[in-house]
Amino acid sequence: MRIGYGRVSTRDQRPESQHDALTAAGCDEIFIDKASGKRASRSQLDKALSANRRGDQLVVTKLDRLRRSLEQLIELSKQLNTRGVDLVVLDQGIDTSTAVGRMFFR
């Protein structure tokens, strides 16, 4: 299953563009947070992560929608890897279900 996650942080950003991109990428479920990236608690991200099972993919439009710092991103990547969940980043063509994606991201 493909689980999509997006985040918008200001009134100028429209969640529809991320939702549309995630839908076009074949996501079965989509979760969108409307909160600043600095905020540690993101209820929709928590739901997206809980919905993922071994063999699933977490799909985001951009890495900065997922986590703000490299340290947080590395930690999340480790958690996904341990759970057997792959990460797909649409704007950078990263897909950790492929050998190239694993080499690039892990």
Q: What residues are labeled active site?
A: 9
CA distance 86 to 58: 6
Per residue, what are the HEC states of 12-81? Answer: CCCHHHHHHHHHHCCCCEEEEEECCCCCCCCHHHHHHHHHCCCCCEEEECCHHHHCCCHHHHHHHHHHHH
